[in-house]
Every structure is written in C-alpha cells, then in structure tokens.
Structure 1
Amino acid sequence: MAGHKKGQGETIPANEDICRIIPGAAKEIILTFDMGGRISYVNESGMERIGYFDDEILTMNIGDIIPPDQLKTIKEELLYSHATGEEKSVLHEVEFIDRNLRLFPVEASASLIIRNGRPSDILIIARITDDNRKNEKHSAGKEGICSHIVENAEEMILIADETGNITYVNKTGEQFSGYSLEELRGTNISDLFPPRHIERIRKELLENGKTVISEDKFIDRNQKKFPVRLRSSWMMRDDKLWDILTVVRDISRQKRRERERLRKRKFESLTMLAGGIVDDLNNFLTGIMGNIDLARMNLNPDEKTHTMLSYAKEGCGNIRTLIRHFLTFSKGSTPVREIGLIGPFVMESVNSVLPEVNIRCDFFIPDKLWSVAFDKKQIKLAIRHLVLNANEAMPSGGQIQVKAENISITPGRKSDVLSMKEGNYVRISFQDRGIGISENDLGKIFDPYFSSKKMKSRRGRGLGLTTVYAIIKKHHGYIDVASKQGVGTSVCICLPISGKDIPDFSIFEESFFHRKDRILIMDDEELVIDVADQMLRQLGYDTEFSKNGEEAIEIYKKAMKSDQPFDVVILELHVKSGMGGREVMKELLKLDIHVKGIVSSDYSNDPEMTDFEKYGFEGVLEKPYTIGELSKTLEYIMVGKTVEIYLKDRKKEESEENG
C-alpha cells in the first residue's frame, strides 16, 4: 500500500505499513501464540535475543521459552479477566529461556486477542530488566526447568572437552544418533562428524570468541550421513575456556525444501522456454510432415526415394515426440485426466517396458487402492522413464520393486515427501538396486539433459526425469528421490485421490475417408495453409483458406448464401492478430447452429483442446498432424457423431448387453 505524503521528501506510511514497521523496529520482545501454545509471531528483537533461527521459532511452543509455571499464571489471569468482562492486560516479571538455555528476566505485558468473541491468541510485549537476582534464579531453575528442557529438547545437546571427548549428551542424542547414552558419553566427537570437525570449530571459536553457527554432516550409528546445523559456544570455568557446548539440529527437511524451491524455479524457467519454441516448431513440422506424406503418396513403395522419405518421416516423428516432451513443460499445459484405478495401470505400464530392458520387476500393489484422476498417456510416459532410468542404473541387469499404497496426510503427521498438503494420496514407489546417485548429483537429477551416466551415444539423455517431474507436478502430485551409492535409488510419487467420475472417451481407428466436401481452414502460417491445402485436395475435399478470424467469418457468410456452404471449418486456436479460433467459433455458431468446427493448436492441453465440446467444437487437430490424422478427424466429423452422441450410444449398447 502506498504511503500518504506529508511534505517535500517525506512520506508517512499507511496504517497497514505502520502496523508492520513498529513491531519490527521495536526494541522490546513482541510475540504471539495461540491458546495451545504454538508461536505464531516473533519480532526481530525477540528472535535476536532468544537466539533461535527464524525458521525454527515458528515451529516451537511458548513453553520452550517461558517456564510452564509462569506461563500458567499469565494464562489463568487473562482468562479470568475475560470471563469477568474486564479484558485487561496483565503485567508480570517472568524469565525467558534463550537458545543456550540461559534464563533472563523480563517485564512482560500480556493481553488476549479475541476473535469471534472468543480468546484465540495471547500477545506478549516483554522488556528485558536488570535483576540482581538473575544469577540466583538461574542457578535455582537450572536443576528443575532447564534440566527438563535440555533432556527433552528436539535438538541433540552435547558437551565435549578440548580433545573432542563427549562428557555430556541429552536423551535426544539416543534417537538422533542411534547410540545409547553410555556409548555416546565414551565417544569422541570425531566419530559423529567428518574429520577435523572439532579442530575447525575450536579455531573459529578462538578467532571469534562468540557462538559459531555452522552446517555439517552428522554420522549416525548406521553410518548414515544427514545435514545438521550446529550452534557451538565455549563453556567457562574459573574464567577460562573449558568445554564446547554444541546444539545439533537435523535440517534434512529444510535442505529438501530448499532443493524443491530451486527445482521449482528451474521448472518455471523451462515452462517459459517451452512455451516460446513449441508453437513455431510445430508449425514448421506440420509443413514438413505434410509434404513428406504428399510426396510418398505419388511414389511406388519400392522406389528408393519412397524409402528415404519414410526415414525422413520417422525422424520427424522423433522430433514431434521431443516437442511433446517440451509441451509437457509449457505454461498452461494441463493433463487430460480420467478417473481410474491406478494399480492395474501401473502394472500394465511397467510390463509394457520390460521387454525392452534387462531387468525384472516385483509388484507389491494391493487391490484396494483409492481411485485417482490421471492422464493415461502422461502417467504411462512417466512410468516408462522411471523404468528405463532404473535399467540404466543396473547395466548388468537386476530387479526393481514397484509398490503402491494409500496414505493420508493429516495435520499431525509429517509426510516423508516434503511439503505435502493435507489429504488422501496413492503413493507409488520404484526401488532399484543400482549404482545409486551421489549426494552432489541428487539436487540436479530433475534438470533438463542432466545425467551422471556416461552415455555418449544415448539420445535425449537426462530429459526423462525432467519429464516425470513436470507430469507429476501438473497432476498436483509430489515426487521425491532417495538414493545411496552402491545400494540403490527409490523414486516415490504421490498422486491425490479423486471422488468424481469422468467419462471414458473412445479412441477411433485411423482410416482414410474420401468425400467431396468443402473445408474452410483459418491459419496465419503460410506453410501450414499450403500443406493443408495439398493434403485436403489429395483426400478429395474442396478447400478455402483465411489468415484471420474476421475474414473467415465473412467467407463463411458468403458461402452460406451460395449453393456451396462449408461442411467443416478448421480453426487455429492462436493467431498473431485478430480473432482466434475460440472467438471465431462463437460467432459462427450465431450464424449457423449446425456448423461443424475443428479446433487446431500446437498445445494439446489448452482448455479448448481438452474440453472442445464446451466451446462448440466437434473435434480437435493437434499440430503437427499427418494426412492420416487429418483424414480420421474429418471422417469422424462428417458422420455427424458428436462425442456426446457417441457416449450415449455406447452406454445404451452396454446396458443392452448386460440385460
């Protein structure tokens, strides 16, 4: 919100800005928490004084900062004042507990925040006081409150002497490391961290003389390494540096979130690139493939030229497949989803790839999986890439496991796959026993054309997992990869379930259909117009063309008044100027409710392409298209069977068969 001008060169912030600025600039500690104790806000001064990281404190409970007995007194007084209708603040001298488990005295003013007539949160504004009783209270509390907090903290808290021998560790250390307390207290810190860790920390502490915050790898009992954040500081005895106190926090989930954010930014860049190149490439390829088809039709199949053109068409087909990969990434592209049972489909998709590879598969897929809305072509492509990737990880052959299960993410449950929203999902995992992925490469595996494998002759290497990532994300799903070198890799995908029914659209067989009908095509690409004209005339149609929507409408009007109306119109959805296919179709329906329209586009996932009947069209042509695909679409339109009629007929036939 813009500020209000007071005078030359001076701006008074608007009310909303003031409400944000004052707490941030205040020297007092300002914090809020709900009635359950969960902290919802802490200002900059509060975080600096208490000592927690900003991404930690909002996951904490107020009981970690204010001793329970003092907190109880504040809440009871506030709730009593609310019950009596006074709604007043209460003032108390209390002690806060900082990150280093030190108590410091504050004067705290506490107030209730009321929402819908009921207490919802508590606001505390605390000012640090100089209390001569601080040391006495700290000493008395250390044996009670602080001891309890230390032993039950989420972090591993340890003390090591100058040589690195651990002299103290809290109970959390057992869960954190896998060692017992007795084992840990006889261990050197070098067994838990990479070499020279203690020397580096000691050096930094001696140079800075303050607390040192660092990140490193922690090594548990099973030799598993995971990222941790450490807060190390000297402990003093008789005014001398003595031991090192270290608070160790597992930041695995944070690192995974960071990788996911980076992945998301890269993916957004890719969508912009894909959207920019797909349109032009498809128009060029439509012209090339169309001319190849026309040239082959005038040649004897035994001629060498016919064979060469067939190879050329096959190459164009590979380019079209690559373009469709990029179409999966493009912005605005959405899957054409149908409700179905994902379990049998996964098995069928995996089995369709196995003849091409040197691996076997064990399935662990129960019968009672929830139904999922998914695009069959896209999910089958994703599964294909995952199986091929597993095969490449096991060059000498091997076995993969494919598992599926229902999972529910509830408010109290942390998902294995990061940042999942609450809800029900079907989780599918692909586990191989291959060479594994190094930790450095793990964050790059979804990058386009990245590969850690030496495959100089492999075309399209590294694009597979990028495609998988795009497909799962556009299904509103989640994907995660875990790997250990020499052990194998596990790829886990989670797809949200759906409770709605979607019609099952039939796929019609390709055939050539010859009839003397008139076709109007609107397209602003000269190459597309030229090749479409030749293909349609080869199929026996009369044609007329327009390069913009306004001209197409006028041509259609004139044809209606003559004895030669158009039987079908093919409209390009996106043109550089003027009306596009959707707008033209809307106007044509006003002129002729029986107009038969086909929408054409490079983007098969445009809403007008996936839900074409909603916009008045009766068919679709995805660029680039061949003469066979053009013929099949026109045949379908010419027989006058809309999708709706077809589905009704099919439903009636099934009903009669079932008696």
Structure 2
Amino acid sequence: MISQGSDNSGNLHEFGGKVDIRLIRVLLIFNNRKNEEYIASMVSHQAFEVTLCSDTSKVPNLIKGTKFDAIICEVNSRSPQLEDLLIWLSGLGRSKPYLIFSIDRRNENSLCTFIQSGVDDFIFNDSKEEEVFSRLKLMELKLKKDKLLKESLIKLRRDRKRYESLFLESPEAILVLQNRQGKVIGVNRSVRTILGYDGKSLLGKYMSLIFPQIFGKDGYASNGEVISGSTVLQSIPYRRPDGTSISLDVMMSAIPWDSGYALMMLCRDVSSRHSKEDGLISESKKKALECFASGISDEFGDLFTSIEGNLSLMESKSLNDLDLTDAVKSAKLACERAREIVLEVSALRGNRGSKSKVRVLLPQLISNTLNFSLFEFDRIKTVINVESSIYEVEGDEGQLRSAFEALIKNAAESVTRLRKGDGEIVVEVKNLEILPDNEYSIHPGSYVHISFKDNGPGLSREEINRIFDPYYSGKKNGRGFGLSRAAATCRSHGGHISANSQEGYGACFNVFLPSFTSEPRAANVDSNSLRVLVLDDEPHICAIVEKSLRKEGHDVYCTSTGKAAIRAFEKSSDFGKPFDVLILDLDIRGGMGGNETLARIRSIKSNVKAIVTTGYVDDTVLENYLEHGFSGVLTKPFRITKLISTVERLGKTNFSN
C-alpha cells in the first residue's frame, strides 16, 4: 500500500462561515498500474489525500483503520470479491464512503446494475482530464453537501433533545391541545405534580372535564372569549383529584401543528405566591390601621382635653366675662375641629360620590389652586403645561380643589428641604386614552391626566406603598390626612391616583379623571371670575363666604390673621394674579385687624378694592370707611345676596379700570 500526501492550502473552503481544513481522503483500488497512476495524479491535483490499494479484500480493514470519504474502484468485471465489497459497503449505511467505479466503455450497459448496488458515480478508463476533473469536482461538492446535511441533522437532533428536555422537565405543567375544545395530545411530567393527573391518563381526554371554567361549550371561555391565539388567565381556582385546592395562572398560546395549529397550555401553581401576597396585604392593612388608630386617638385626645379643660374653667366662679367668653370660644373651636375630623374620615369612603357634581374644566381650577396653595411657601418655581384642548370632567369642584391642594402642598413641603429658590413644581394637564390591560388597572376610555412633579428628595419604596394611608405622613408632626383624602376623592370620581419616585430625584403623583364629554374644550386658564381675599377669625363666617362666592364662579382665599392676609396678597402679586377684592373683618382677636391690614396692603397697592365687615355698627371706621381706604361696607349679619352684589360691583369696577 502506498500513501501520498498533498499540500493542505489547496483544500481551504468556506462553508457556513467556518473554514473547512480537513482533507478529503480517497482510496484508489486499481489493478492496472497505468490507470492507477493516471487517476492518482488527477486526485492529487485536487489536493485530496490519496491511498492506493490493489486488493478489494483488504478494503474493510483499511476503512476500519482510516475514515475514507471516497473510494474510486477499477472494475473490469462483476467478480464475487466485488459483490462482497458492495454488500459490505452498503452495510455501513450513512457512513458509506462516496463510491466511484472506473469502468471500460464496453461495460456501459452495467451502469444501472451498479447504481442499484450502491455506486454513486462513474468514470471511464479512457476519460479525458476535463471529464475526470468534473467528476471529482462533483464528488467534492456532494461530499461537502452530505457533510453539511449530517451536521444539520446532528444539530436538529440535539436541539430536539433540548426542547424535549425543556418541555418534559419544565416546572410548570404543559399540555398540548389538539383544538380549542381542548383534546389533550401531549403532556409533560409536571402535570402529575401540579394538576395531580398521570400524564398518560390525560391523553385523548378533553380539558372541559378538568377546567370547565375555562373550556366551556364549543371551546369558549366563561367570559365568551374564544380560546385561541394568546390568552392569560390569572388566579384560576383548581381542585386536584385528591381533593386539595390550589390557585393557577394559566397561559395559552397557539402553535403550528401539522397542517393547522394546536394550543399549548401552561399551568403555574401560584398558591404560595398568593399566600405571601395575602400576608403582605394583611401586614400592610394592619400597619395602616395602627397608624389610623394612633392618629385618631391622638387627635381626639387633644380635643377632649381642650374641651374638658375649658369646661372646668367655666365651672370656676372666679372667671370674669371676658375669660368666660374665651373659654367658650376655645371649646367651640375644639368641637369644630372634631367635626372636621369626622368629615375627613367620612371623606375617605371613596365609594360615596358627591351629590353636587357639575361639569368642571380643570385647567382654570388647577391654575388657581396652584397659586393659592403656595401662599405659605417662599421662592418655589412653578410651571403649568396644559394641552390646547382639554376634556371636561364631572365632579365636585370643592372636593377636587381640596385634592389638588393636598398634592400641591405635599410637593411644596418636599422641595422646601432644598436650598431656597431651587424648588420647582411642574403640573401637566393633558387628555389621555386608556387602553385595556393598562398598567394602572383602570377601565379603558377617555381621561384627563394631571401630573404633579417636584424636584425634592423623592420617596422611598415604603413611603410610596403607604403614602395614601390615613394618618401616615413622612413629615414630623404631620397629620397625613391630605393625600388619603385626595385618593378617596379620585376614587369617588371614578378615577385613579398613583405615585412614583426615585430617591434623590423627586416624586411624581399622577391623577386620572374620566372625561364627561367626548369633545375637548379650549383650555382657557384666564377668565372673568374674581379673586377674593377674606380676613376673618371666625371659621364659620369664612366657610359661608367662601362657599357663596365660589358658587358664583369666583376664587376665594381665606385667612384668619392680618399677617397671613398680607402675605397672601404679596404672593398673589408675585404670581402675577393679584386679588381683585378684599373682605376684611375689623376685629381680629389678639392680632392685626382689618383697618391696619388694609393700611399695609395699600402701601403695596394703593388702589386696592376692599370691603370692611364688623358686628359693631357704631365703629367709627364704618362711618368714615372711605377715609380709611375701604370701598364698601358689610355689617354683620349680612345677606348673601348683599355680599355677592357688593363684591361683584367692586370687582367689575376694578376690571374697568
């Protein structure tokens, strides 16, 4: 046997992005030395590795020792040795080398017989070089094609095994269903552990027997949805054959199958997750209840202490009339605060809608509330961005104003921790179409989206989870009722509120209110409504004045001290929206009265329109109110119609000037 090597560089070929540097090994079996040398030179010229052999009986041992890719065998006649070789080669199956017979042209009639015996190609002994080269090139191409095919088959088998392992060993129960009626044609091992059924026993069964709440008549789910495409069902109650109950998340997806499609059904046991979630919810409710109970007890404890103390003072015979009056007033204030707390707690019942809902255009309401809410704070930059046309909403304007005020003040208190002048609050108002399966878990439809963003220190995860709980507050000595009441107001208006934040990067509160109209209206923030500042230390007087004027469409800001009134007037001028009319009570117990307050305000703006109110009809200021800078008088008790007409008369005069 003679082996001849050749230069490897001629056999570098690119296939599938990889370089194939393996030589093609060819075994030559020739008896005629001349023919052998001729074919050997041709094969070597193709950069194939050539091995020579003259005895067909030695071929099996040669092939067992060396993997040959091809055999070129000289055939003069069909001998028994040749028959044995063909039989042995056919037994190799896919490992059989590529077989070429070199025959005499006179034996051309034997080609069909040889092909049936497993011969792949032929060359003639007297073939020219070009013909031999073409047959060798064809052999090379077929060998490489077979090699790629074998590699692809190996990869397919490997991938199939992997996918079978993924399917069979998946921790979720997986079933393959033949049609939407749910006939089972395949299951994995987790079906036993999760669903409690032996996999083989389910084959051929219909899932409507196991999941009647999913697979109803004709493949329709209980909600009428056709079981096809992609379907996700959460927290489905399931009872195993042994009687144990679990909760499942079920996912179904259509997959190609034969000439049509099948359904892949994945069942995940979420019972443990639900137990943990229930535990977390229970713990969260417990903390919220503890916080609420602690806050209520502290509030009412202080109030009852005040009431009891003042009643004890009233029992004392040493009190003069003035002290007795102060004690009664303090007790009344404590009772008024108790009433406010009861109303605040009642407001938390978000499912009780207001009976006084009207159509509200939010931009103007939010703009005025933004300015009024920041009178108590210094040097906070505000930005309000409003779309050109905004949907109207149906709601209680007072409740919505209180909710927005709570959100704005919460943002303001957050940014006051920054250096003065660095705080910023951005309010954005826009229309939004909410789609099904949205991230907010609210009904799809048209909404007005209001966002309140600040650049304060932000909120922690725990604060976000509890920010809307009653009496929870991140502020020292804070009551924590405002945001919980805002959340209740959103719920009672069919809306939604959420908070998101990253510590160190501010917070954002998002409010979604359902639209009342299908067509948006121009968001005109400016209007002819009056802006009225009220100074009175009697809460019930402030309440009736505010309610009456707001009902007429005017904006009202109430203060109980002269100092607060002056500050509010200054801040309104800073915001570029000064008050049009002032209503000032002459007598503020223990503080600056209306006369002195107006004098200081007139030093800021001399032509301000102010109304003096008092219960003392013989006061000298009433007789000469014009000399003191007032433009009108309201003597307590006054009629509401008189209040409204006086305010609007002075306000319109202000507009005309």
Which band: TM-score by shorter chain? 0.3 to 0.5
Bigger relative contact order (CA 8 A; separation at least 6)? 1
TM-score by length of 1: 0.36
Between structure 1 and structure 2, the one with the greater Rg is 2
TM-score by length of 2: 0.36
